[in-house]
Amino acid sequence: MTGIGILGSGFIAECYADALVDVRSAELVANYSRTPKSAARLAERWAIPHTYDSIDALCADPAVELVVVALPNEVHVEAVRAAARHGKGVVCTKPLGRTAEEAAEIVAIALDAGIWNGYAESSVFSPNIVKAREMVAAGGIGDLLTMRAREGHSGPHAPHFWNAETAGGGALLDMGCHTVESARHFFGKDNRVVEVMAWGATLVHGDKTTGEDTATAWLRFEGGQLATIESSWVERGGMALRHEFVGSGGRIITDTSQTPVWGFIEKPIGYLVEKADADTGWVYPVPEETRAYGFSQQFRHFVEHFEAGTAPSETFHDGLVVNTIIDACYRSMRTRQWQKVEYPA
């Protein structure tokens, strides 16, 4: 069994703990949270035997082989450095860093220590996206020409995401990192994004954030393809997760938020779906959210590659590339012009 230690106790840590239930050779052996009460709650819910009050203490635990970082953006560097100091493999949630510079620091830490690393970008592991990728790769729609992807909801779970100065950005960084990596996944990672144009504004949540709560970006690839990505914190009524792929011989549409279950209810019945915003009236619960969003599949992939000592399909390098593209998008927001993507050496 591979011993897993989770850093964090919020929504994403809960998703990861649930996902690891589906990984036969993984065992949750330790967890940490900045809030002891939250750490205890997570440990009790998932039967985690050891709870720590410091990141370093969890990483030093000999039973922990793979550290999973499910912490706010501003703590990622510290967490990866602690894991590297103790020679542990590490999976870090998205975005890897708040900026490309910070992501590059994280990559350097991992390379210098020679530790195994995985970038937890769940969207490319979603069953819908996997099937669409198979169809595209098989030539089902000819040459892929354009992609449009949108992710929207009414705003982040945790208050720290609203602080754009601490988190590193607004909706584009929080959600656009998913769709940027989706675009790279479909158009090919060797087919670089060469320039971007982006727009962003704070339309609704000006009392909560100084970051953008709505953003749209256009990514032009070296091969001439175009991806349009939309990120929103102003859409009520649950998650919106849609991809549209247009090729020379057809098109494919995926919608992860679509569900085979819906109904009109007068009495609240508990949790329905992430960011549902309402618990009565017409409701659209998503069965097996952890699996529908790709978390379980992602961790099976990571643990298999960790145990084999091979690189996963999503590494810290991918996180760095995503941060680099998003940095260019933020420059475009400020200048209102197309911006070249300046990749690190």
pLDDT band at 131 (very low <50, low <70, confident <90, very high): very high
pLDDT at residue number 238: 81
For the stretch 20-33, what's the b/e string if a residue is b when 16 or more beta carbons lie within 10 angstroms of its beta carbon? beebeebebbbbbb
Residues 58 and 96 in one domain: yes
Q: Compute the mean pLDDT over every residue in the chain, rounded to the nearest whole number.
A: 95
24-28 contact pairs (CB < 8 A, 24+): 25/1, 25/303, 25/307, 26/1, 26/2, 26/66, 26/299, 26/303, 27/1, 27/2, 27/3, 28/4
For the chain, the domain total comes to 2
Q: Using one digit for the tens of pLDDT, what is the confidence trace for 49-69? A: 999 999 999 999 999 999 999
Residues 8 and 102 in one domain: yes
Residues 96 and 138 in one domain: no
CATH of the domain at 51: 3.40.50.720
Residues 89 and 67 in one domain: yes
Residues 28 and 115 in one domain: yes
Tell me the residue range of the domain where 52 lies: 2-122+296-314
Q: Using one digit for the tens of pLDDT, what is the confidence trace for 66-109? A: 999 999 999 999 999 999 999 999 999 999 999 999 999 999 99
Contacts of 64 (CB under 8 A, 6+ apart): 3, 4, 5, 29, 30, 58, 88
Structure tokens belonging to residue 182: 């989706």
> Is 345 a member of any domain?
no
Residues 159 and 278 in one domain: yes
> Is 74 a member of any domain?
yes
Compute CA distances 265 → 113, 272, 288, whole Å. Answer: 54, 11, 20
| Residues facing residue 215 across a β-bridge | 200, 231
Residues 78 and 215 in one domain: no
Residues 331 and 200 in one domain: yes
> Is 319 a member of any domain?
no
Residues 157 and 82 in one domain: no
Structure tokens belonging to residue 29: 């052996």
Cα end-to-end distance, the chain, whole Å = 38
> Is 93 a member of any domain?
yes
Residues 12 and 155 in one domain: no
Residues 219 and 330 in one domain: yes
> Is 108 a member of any domain?
yes
Q: Using one digit for the tens of pLDDT, what is the confidence trace for 273-323? A: 877 888 899 888 888 888 999 999 999 999 999 999 999 999 999 999 999
Residues 37, 341: Cα–Cα separation, whole Å: 43
> Is 331 a member of any domain?
yes
Q: Using one digit for the tens of pLDDT, what is the confidence trace for 194-251? A: 999 999 999 999 999 999 999 999 999 999 999 999 999 999 888 889 999 999 999 9
CATH of the domain at 175: 3.30.360.10
Tell me the pTM.
0.95
Question: CB of 124 within 8 A of CB of 294?
Answer: yes
pLDDT at residue number 237: 83
> Is 131 a member of any domain?
yes
Residues 145 and 267 in one domain: yes
Q: Using one digit for the tens of pLDDT, what is the confidence trace for 139-155? A: 999 999 999 999 999 99
Check whether 258 has a pLDDT greater than 80. no
Residues 32, 69: Cα–Cα separation, whole Å: 10
